[in-house]
């Protein structure tokens, strides 16, 4: 997987020359860090973080950070690592609730072009599991299953937006098939971490990850593998949130 990423990066074009030709020092510095040190660091890995899930995490973080060139580089590698067409679609569908249409739409268009080039018939099989009239109820149940009971008192969120979180974010997206509950929880963390500046929401998502079984070691591994793509500040902020959530869960 990472050898292929290295090759893809080397072939990235800058006018009529590849990065390997125009910026060999950059290629060496980044590749040695991202595709050697990060990949082989024991503390940056977890038995549950296999090749497909590692790719899913990186793709989600890249979308959160709005890195289209990195997405172009990572997309065929993720596909080759075993991330399915449905899973790639579901990452972007879910991202719409976290980054908004303005930021998700370009990635959906790019993925569609990629899939069509690989002779994948579109549209893909429908992954909807909940009727429209049941989205709010099912979304509220899904949200409660991950985050527990809440009374909303004092959180300052208007009732209609809280209702939309249930129906749209959780009901319309988190209940879809294609990604497991554990994968969706991890994708949410990567989308928020990639954006940065979403600490309150990130903290809630990290609590939800612990509930569904994505423990602290796993989450550290996820963040570590995404670090080369979104940078140190956003990952350090996410790790600080994680420390607070883990400490809170022990009290």
Q: Give the model's pLDDT for residue 151.
A: 47
Q: Which domain does 141 fall in, by range? A: 133-177
Task: Answer whether 8's CB lies under 8 Å from 79's CB.
Answer: no
Q: Give the model's pLDDT for residue 152.
A: 46
Q: What's the rounded mean pLDDT across residues 20-49?
A: 92
DSSP-assigned letters across all residues of 56-94 = HHHHHHHHHHT-HHHHHHHHHHHHHTT--HHHHHHHHHH
Does the pLDDT at position 13 exceed 60? no
pTM of the model: 0.92
Cα distance between residue 198 and residue 57, in whole Å: 17
The number of folded domains in the chain is 1
Q: Tell me the angle at which helices 68-80 and 51-65 cross, rounded to the nearest 10 degrees.
A: 170
Within a domain: 195: no
Within a domain: 110: no
In terms of Cα–Cα distance, which of 142, 151, 212, 211 is closest to 172? 142
**Which pair of structure tokens corresponds to residue 232?**
């140190």
Within a domain: 156: yes
Partners of residue 14 on adjacent β-strands: 17
Q: What's the rounded mean pLDDT across residues 197-208?
A: 95
Q: What's the rounded mean pLDDT across residues 180-184?
A: 96
**Which pair of structure tokens corresponds to residue 195?**
């954006």
pLDDT in tens, 107-152: 999 999 999 999 999 999 999 999 999 999 999 999 988 876 654 4
**Which pair of structure tokens corresponds to residue 52?**
């497909």
Within a domain: 211: no
Does the pLDDT at position 7 exceed 90? no
Does the pLDDT at position 208 exceed 70? yes
Within a domain: 148: yes
Across the chain, mean pLDDT equals 91
Within a domain: 18: no
Within a domain: 30: no
Q: What's the rounded mean pLDDT across residues 35-49?
A: 95
Within a domain: 157: yes
Does the pLDDT at position 154 exceed 60? no
């Amino acid at each position: 997987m990472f050898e292929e990423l290295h090759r893809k990066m080397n072939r990235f074009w800058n006018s009529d020359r590849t990065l390997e030709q125009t910026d060999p020092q950059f290629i060496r510095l980044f590749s040695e860090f991202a595709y050697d040190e990060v990949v082989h660091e024991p503390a940056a890995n977890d038995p549950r973080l296999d090749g497909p899930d590692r790719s899913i995490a990186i793709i989600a973080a890249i979308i959160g950070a709005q890195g289209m060139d990195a997405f172009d580089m990572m997309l065929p590698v993720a596909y080759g690592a075993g991330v399915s067409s449905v899973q790639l679609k579901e990452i972007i569908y879910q991202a719409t609730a976290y980054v908004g249409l303005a930021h998700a739409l370009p990635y959906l268009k790019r993925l569609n072009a990629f899939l069509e080039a690989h002779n994948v018939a579109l549209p893909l099989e429908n992954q909807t599991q909940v009727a429209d009239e049941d989205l709010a109820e099912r979304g509220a149940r899904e949200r409660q299953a991950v985050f527990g009971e809440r009374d909303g008192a004092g959180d300052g969120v208007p009732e209609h937006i809280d209702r939309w979180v249930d129906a749209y974010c959780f009901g319309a997206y988190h209940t879809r098939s294609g990604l497991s509950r554990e994968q969706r929880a991890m994708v949410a963390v990567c989308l928020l971490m990639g954006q940065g500046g979403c600490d309150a929401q990130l903290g809630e998502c990290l609590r939800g990850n612990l509930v569904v079984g994505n423990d602290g070691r796993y989450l550290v591994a996820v963040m570590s593998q995404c670090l080369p793509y979104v940078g140190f500040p956003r990952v350090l902020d996410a790790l600080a949130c994680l420390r607070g959530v883990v400490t809170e869960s022990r009290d």
